[in-house]
Amino acid sequence: MTANKPIVSVVVPCHNSAATLAATLASALAQSLREIEVIVVNDGSTDATLEAATAAAQDPRVAVVSQANAGVSAARNRGIAEAKGEFVALLDSDDLWDEDHLETHVARLRADPALGLSFSPVRFIEADGGATGERTRPKLDGLTPADILSTNPCSTCSTMVVRAKVFEEVGGFREGLRRAEDQEWLFRVSLSGWRIAGVDRILVSYRNSPMGLSANLDGMYEGFRDMLEAARLSDPALVARLGPLAAARMSRYLARRALRLRMGRATARRFMSRALRAAPGMILSEPRQTIATALAAAVPGFDALMFRVLKRG
């Protein structure tokens, strides 16, 4: 690598992230793959985010750019436009990477020229960084546009390491979407012919943040509906066929998230009711996840059992 050509450009969008940004950037700078640049995009923060980013910029690999608040998609796109690396890795400002995250994905991408994006499962951590014992179990290979419309295998942008060529060909994130923008972008990538695949190792810690975008469950659902409408522009027939099941799976996920964030069973029941109205057949086609979530939403004490059931894969 020369000083002007890192292997990986790490893009970190942040808005009012002072509480977590230092730890997030430390996990990026501690990567075993050293040939990186870290582009921190301060998206109109009003707290001490800029100060935390500036402190990290004592490492010459870190650059900080600031803009008026325009949303996470615009912030990511700004960072991607600044990127010089062969690969682009996305890192949200409250998540953490294991030290071999980049090394693992870059090796995978270099070994498979048809692979456009590599990701991994995530472990969930509490807002204070404590372990929850919970993880995602996504489908890792053979992903189709239908799979990605129905569920986001990456869970968070922080798992994604992407060839820069993919962004050149597919474009960036839709700035009109405030949520589920990553799923809509993945859908376009899957339609483009680039392969998306995961490694069977947990390399990312995904923080359960009560103040984060992912804690606003109704907002997440509305954002998902907006994502479906955006995806309809790319493949209207597929969205018409699979939209109801995709909406049901999202509602079921939000029911589980309500329980994980301790928002109460009433909220979880509301989302499970919405899921079953959208696609009542999912109780037969996907019984383990559907029945476990429905019981946890309905019966006190069953949420712990649900998470044990779902951990079995």
CATH of the domain at 45: 3.90.550.10
Same domain, residue pair 190 and 258: no
- What is the per-residue pLDDT across 84-108, written as a single tens digit (0 to 9) for each? 999 999 999 999 999 999 999 999 9
Note the pLDDT of residue 275: 95
262 assigned to some structural domain = yes
219 assigned to some structural domain = no
**Region 38-57: what's the mean pLDDT?**
97
User: Does the structure show a pLDDT above 50 at 312?
Assistant: no
Same domain, residue pair 207 and 301: no
Note the pLDDT of residue 267: 92
Note the pLDDT of residue 238: 93
**Region 181-210: what's the mean pLDDT?**
93
Same domain, residue pair 56 and 171: yes
Same domain, residue pair 183 and 259: no
Same domain, residue pair 82 and 165: yes
198 assigned to some structural domain = yes
CA atoms within 13 A on the CB side of 121: 15
Note the pLDDT of residue 309: 57
Mean pLDDT computed over every residue of the chain: 91
Tokens of 235: 């493949």
224 assigned to some structural domain = no
Same domain, residue pair 191 and 249: no
Same domain, residue pair 169 and 253: no
- What is the per-residue pLDDT across 232-245, written as a single tens digit (0 to 9) for each? 999 999 999 999 99
Work out how many domains the chain is built from and give that number.
Answer: 2
295 assigned to some structural domain = yes
Range of the domain at 52: 8-213
Same domain, residue pair 118 and 243: no
**Region 197-218: what's the mean pLDDT?**
81
Domain limit, last residue, from 213, 247, 269: 213
User: Does the structure show a pLDDT above 50 at 157?
Assistant: yes
Planar angle of CA 50, 56, 59, nearest 5 degrees: 140
Contact at 8 Å (CB) between 38 and 29?
Answer: yes
Same domain, residue pair 175 and 281: no
Q: How far is CA 24 from CA 132, 186, 228, in A?
A: 18, 24, 31
Predicted model pTM:
0.86
Same domain, residue pair 30 and 81: yes
Note the pLDDT of residue 190: 96
CA atoms 73, 154, 258, 222: torsion sign: positive
226 assigned to some structural domain = no
DSSP assignment, residue 5? B
Same domain, residue pair 257 and 150: no
93 assigned to some structural domain = yes
Q: How far apart are CA 195 and CA 108, in angstroms?
A: 12
Note the pLDDT of residue 211: 52
Same domain, residue pair 143 and 197: yes
